[in-house]
Structure 1
């Protein structure tokens, strides 16, 4: 049976769902909250719990939702971080993920699917929603930095960057191998034009 999935930009009124997806299992546990690429390291290290979620929400409050959120029958199911590359401090200053030209790309840096919704096509649905959102916002091109698992299985804990096969399935093409690795695997810069 196919899931009844809705994917929408993570506007401020949808941040309860974003929090349900990104929160660590324990209230005092550390979590990235999709801020590690967006903030300078010193600021990122200071962010915990509700303060981190509030900081992520601030992007939506300022007018550019920082990603898309998927729900299934109203239940939070998945998250995809997608926003202008220029809004990601670490990407702007990266030594391992190159800037290949001056196109004002948007970047996908994270995909999170809650365990009960995995292995049901949710990551692909999130990417389709991210493409729709970026196109509607006027982005000319999307960029992502997935791993090439070379036939190996990627741990769910390290799969947040996605795989080259997943991105290829929604029209992304490999542009250049980066010097970045995730889970010890090569990351590729992949792109998709948004006509």
Structure 2
């Protein structure tokens, strides 16, 4: 792979977030707000409103995500943050199967990936996971969860891979802690 740098999504990098989000997949429609909004609010917001919500999130601390740069070009995004800042996790029947208490402020989650089409299949998601774990650790996380898809059981479109693949999380050291659905494990990494 080329030279890869992963940096926090900060206000001065919002144009880079936009570039990463608009290179294919559903990034430009969701703007990584699915996990932060109640269903009724999600349905009532426009793409532009979701973009503005993400911009506002990025102005707060800690940053809600990281940007992967390949040779200086914004190529990918990962959302990582406290589970409590992503309230839809606690409302999901599937994700409630987590053995970590839903109200644990030290539990963080990696919930969304976007990689521009021209940078896919180059290992960016694994690098993003590793950087997300470091980011979570630096901000006091005790455990980091992920909610990937087990591609050995089902095949999905690249748009539906925004959760990440189980094999990628496992390669980054995560272990399965629950399996609420046949192809939907919950994985976790406890931080020292």
- SS of the aligned residue for 1:129 comes to helix
Report the counterpart of residue 11 of structure 1 in structure 2. Answer: 10
TM-fit CA distance, 1:133: 0.8
Q: Deviations over 1:41-97 (max 9, x none)?
A: 222223323321220122221212111111112211001111100011211222221
- SS of the aligned residue for 2:29 comes to coil
- SS of the aligned residue for 1:34 comes to coil
Distance 1:80 1:153 in 2: 21
Report the counterpart of residue 187 of structure 2 in structure 1. Answer: 190
1:32 to 30, 33, 36: 30
TM-fit CA distance, 1:122: 0.9
1:139 to 114, 138, 141: 141
Distance 1:166 1:122 in 2: 10
1:83 to 81, 84, 93: 81
Distance 2:87 2:20 in 1: 23
Change (3 A) 1:48 1:109: same
Distance 2:157 2:112 in 1: 14
- 4+ long deviations beyond 3 Å: 151-154
TM-fit CA distance, 1:37: 1.1
How large is the RMSD of aligned CA atoms in angstroms? 2.0
2:150 to 143, 148, 151: 148
Change (3 A) 1:186 1:152: closer
Distance 1:164 1:61 in 2: 31
| TM-score (normalised: structure 2) | 0.88
1:127 to 126, 129, 132: 129
- SS of the aligned residue for 2:179 comes to strand
Q: Deviations over 1:101-153 (max 9, x none)?
A: 33431011111111111111111111111111111111111000111111665
**For structure 2, which runs of at least 5 residues remain unmatched after alignment?**
none
Distance 2:90 2:178 in 1: 17
2:57 to 56, 59, 76: 59
CA contact (8 A) 1:24 1:31 kept: no
CA contact (8 A) 2:23 2:117 kept: no
| TM-score (normalised: structure 1) | 0.87
